Structure 1
Amino acid sequence: MKTLKILVGVAFVIAVSAFAIDKVSSPKIDGGYTIGDTATDFKLKNIDGSLIALADYKEAKGFIVIFTCNHCPYSVAYEDRIIELDKKFKTQGYPVIAINPNNPKAYPDDSFDNMKVRAKEKGFTFPYLFDDGQKIYPQYGATKTPHVYVLEKTSNGNIVKYIGAIDNNYKDAGAANEKYVEDAVNALLKGEKVLVEITKAIGCSIKA
């Protein structure tokens, strides 16, 4: 019995440690960005046909860049929350910039035409950009949809301040008691350090 208790205790410590690493460490993700890196700007096609770059947002204080798509059930589950993030923070200087990183040849549901349909159906309030040629998501190191990067605009460029999930419950917004993106942006707006800088993105793998 004593041995069993010891084993259970060790397993618990390992589980807690693993979770803590997911939340606060800052490893490179497949060669992508880590906390403190300067994110390269891009120019991608929006669903209205215009080309969008971060540099276009002259008055922005930063950005909530979200790699997402049409078909993934995790992305779909978060759509309303993404809209709410944009509505809450766009006027405070942190607009949502959504990017579809998937190859439509691998997953036709994520074609540019279907992006336009989905955005209209849901009433997206933010740009929904197509990573044509899949050149941008590898730079960031995104591996899932959704995968979030909160950037702070500085005189030295757009600095990565948070990477990971939107919150800790994709199934139920009401049950999410750790709102990582919201907390990160609120901290930046107050000039404070982001306490949880990186979490594990939960979602569908990006289709190459």
Structure 2
Amino acid sequence: MAAIPPVCNFGEPAPDFELPATDGRRYRLGDLKGSKGTVVVFICNHCPYVKAIIDRLIRDAKDLAALGVTTIAICSNDAEAYPEDSFENMKRWAEEKGFPFKYLHDATQEVARAYGAVCTPDFFGYNADLELQYRGRLDESKREAAAPTARRELYEAMRQVAETGKGPQEQIPSMGCSIKWRHAA
């Protein structure tokens, strides 16, 4: 089912975390944050919305890294109900796609809840002080990739954040599959 996150709550601090990554190490937010900004994006392996944007996300993460903006991807889906999103499958997909960013596993779903993540993909763009400045979409892609000429909304917003510390006032929310929450016992 499609879900749409709320608008940006400018200035909200990024919740800290410590999670395992597909490279076999554990990371805290402070280990990965960029000097000019940080994008935290909640993704998963099976979502058609994520599959539609993954190559563009890889491109934009590389381009943003050159500006001092780090990208961090987190999978919080219930892997028992959605085995394609298991940690082993995350490792395989990250290697297969050559992710230029850390891909972290939030098995307890505590990090997704702390961020208020709603869907995959769900983008949180922070300035150098880890204050929220962007809660929009990558581009106009939905379940299919947008045209090659589509405006690079995340990239443009985060370039502005890197240069000024502030995100754009006008933001269009991301859209994607709802996060697959575990059912309480």
Query: What TM-score do you get using the length of structure 1 for normalisation?
Result: 0.77
More helix by share: 1
Question: Structure 2 regions of 5+ residues with no counterpart?
Answer: none
| Matched AA of 1:164 | G
Which of 49, 70, 73 lines up with 1:98 in the alignment? 73
Q: Deviations over 1:159-187 (max 9, x none)?
A: 00001321112323435634321111111
Query: Is 1:172 aligned to 2:159, yes or no?
Result: no
Question: Structure 1 regions of 5+ residues with no counterpart?
Answer: 1-21, 28-33
Q: Is the 8 A contact 1:86 1:126 kept in 2?
A: yes
Q: Deviations over 1:95-116 (max 9, x none)?
A: 1100001010121110000001
Query: Is 1:65 aligned to 2:40, yes or no?
Result: yes
Q: Is the 8 A contact 2:44 2:50 kept in 1?
A: yes
In the alignment, which residue of structure 2 is the partner of 1:53? 28
Q: Deviations over 1:178-206 (max 9, x none)?
A: 43211111111221642245432211111
Which structure 2 residues correspond to residues 178-189 of structure 1 after superposition, within 5 A?
178-189=151-162
In the alignment, which residue of structure 2 is the partner of 1:159? 131
- Return the alpha-carbon distance in structure 2 between the equivalents of residues 119 and 131 of structure 1: 15
Distance 1:96 1:139, change over 3 A: same
- Return the alpha-carbon distance in structure 2 between the equivalents of residues 59 and 36 of structure 1: 17
Match of 1:71, SS state, is coil
Match of 2:100, SS state, is coil
Which of 169, 173, 177 lines up with 1:200 in the alignment? 173
| Matched AA of 1:163 | R
Which structure 2 residues correspond to residues 78-117 of structure 1 after superposition, within 5 A?
78-117=53-92
Structure with higher Rg: it is: 1
Distance 1:173 1:26, change over 3 A: closer
Q: Which runs of 4+ in 1 moved over 6 A?
A: none
Kindly tell me the number of residue pairs found equivalent between the two proteins. Answer: 176
Higher relative contact order (CA 8 A, sep 6+): 2
Identical amino acids, percent of aligned pairs:
38
Deviation at 1:58, TM superposition (A): 6.7
* CA RMSD of superposed structures (Å): 2.0
